[in-house]
Amino acid sequence: MITILAIESSCDETAASVCRDGRILSNIIASQKVHESYGGVVPELASRAHMQHIVPVVDQAMKTAGVEMDSLDSIAFTQAPGLIGALLVGAQFARSMALALNKPLIPVHHMQAHVIANLIDEPSPSFPFLCLTVSGGHTQIVLCESPTIMKVIGETIDDAAGEAFDKSAKILGLPYPGGPLIDNYAKQGNPKAFIFPEPQIPGLNFSFSGLKTSILYFLQEHQRQNPNFIEERLPDICASIQRRIVTILLNKLKKAAIETGIKEICLAGGVSSNSELRSALKEAGNKYGWNTYYPSPQYCTDNAAMIAATAYYKFLDGDFADLSAVPSARATW
């Protein structure tokens, strides 16, 4: 039996999880509300909140799992990418535990872990598969040959899909993170009410910064004629923005599926809990004969269960780090 404690602290969630032989025994998350009024994550505040949360979160993860410290085989932590001050809190905590318990340390790449979230529950994709990872900081199409061999074959050249949601929400006067709010308002709106342009980016890369600008100009123009425009048409605006973001994502995913010939297709990352993206993937799956997958919502946004599951595969490969492993803004998968 291999029992691993994993810690995630790359952004604004302090999280800990225990897994045994790849099965998740606990998944504890403390979200940081402190950023809401700032319209985005404030790095300094995130680090401080991680310091406050990490001991109770790890304690609760161990208690929920019913696991004693001395039965842990390894301690894992998110090494990159992320806010450096935030990463340091989790890394240092994991390192201290590994040192005190004399257990091996496993650094995990956060983006690899988002992909691995698809392997936690059944049914899970078979290899090779494609994963569209869409989060607040990243938008990637990843070709996965095995749990530890992955290649990014397309990514955003500017903003991430989550940023496109959050920045649009900010322009609309909605609090951070705006993605889930846009998703909710869109449910009552008409996605064809307003048409936003689709960027023409070659290959499998994405771009979202032009969309943000076009939304800004569109709103300024309408508000000049009607100062209550946003208030009156919020569901239609949200539905139209969401429709464009989802079609940009799905069109590139289709292109990747054609180019690689792969029909096992997954979503990952915070934006993969978006209801329209999920239904659009299912629809495309039916149309193109894909088998489609997405993690349950608790494994889409940042969590430590995905770090624990990834660490399990790294453990099987004997891929450990010495205790001098440090977080870094960049790290290899």
Enumerate binding residues for ligand KG4 (CB under 6 A).
11, 135-137, 162, 165-166, 177-180, 183, 269-271, 273-274, 301-302
> Taking CB within 5 to 8 Å according to partner kind, which of ligand KG4, Zn ion, none is near residue 236?
none
Location of structure tokens 């929920």: 64
Q: How many helices (H) and strands (E) does the chain have?
A: 9, 10
Question: By CB under 5 A, how many residues form the interface with Zn ion?
Answer: 2
Query: Based on CB atoms, which residue is closest to ligand KG4, 125 or 179?
Result: 179
Location of structure tokens 């257990």: 103
> Taking CB within 5 to 8 Å according to partner kind, which of ligand KG4, Zn ion, none is near residue 165?
ligand KG4
Query: Based on CB atoms, which residue is closest to ligand KG4, 97 or 268?
Result: 268
Strands 105-109 and 74-80: parallel
Would you say 209 and 158 are in contact if contact means Cβ atoms under 8 Å apart?
A: yes
Query: Based on CB atoms, which residue is closest to ligand KG4, 125 or 137?
Result: 137
Q: How far is the CB of 269 from Zn ion (least distance, A)?
A: 6
Among 26, 135, 168, 242, binds Zn ion (CB under 5 A): 135
Tokens of 291: 């088998």
Q: How far is the CB of 176 from Zn ion (least distance, A)?
A: 15
Q: Which of residues 282-321 bind Zn ion (CB under 5 A)?
A: 302
Query: Based on CB atoms, which residue is closest to ligand KG4, 105 or 181?
Result: 181
Neighbouring-strand partners of residue 6: 17, 76
d(CA 132, CA 205): 12
Strands 264-268 and 291-293: parallel
> Taking CB within 5 to 8 Å according to partner kind, which of ligand KG4, Zn ion, none is near residue 85?
none
Query: Based on CB atoms, which residue is closest to ligand KG4, 3 or 118?
Result: 118
- Name 158's Cβ contacts closer than 8 Å, sequence gap at least 6: 207, 208, 209
> Taking CB within 5 to 8 Å according to partner kind, which of ligand KG4, Zn ion, none is near residue 177?
ligand KG4
- Name 16's Cβ contacts closer than 8 Å, sequence gap at least 6: 5, 6, 7, 8, 26, 28, 54, 57, 58, 60, 61, 62, 304
Q: How far is the CB of 233 from ligand KG4 (least distance, A)?
A: 19
Query: Based on CB atoms, which residue is closest to Zn ion, 166 or 302?
Result: 302
Contact footprint for Zn ion (CB under 5 A): 135, 302
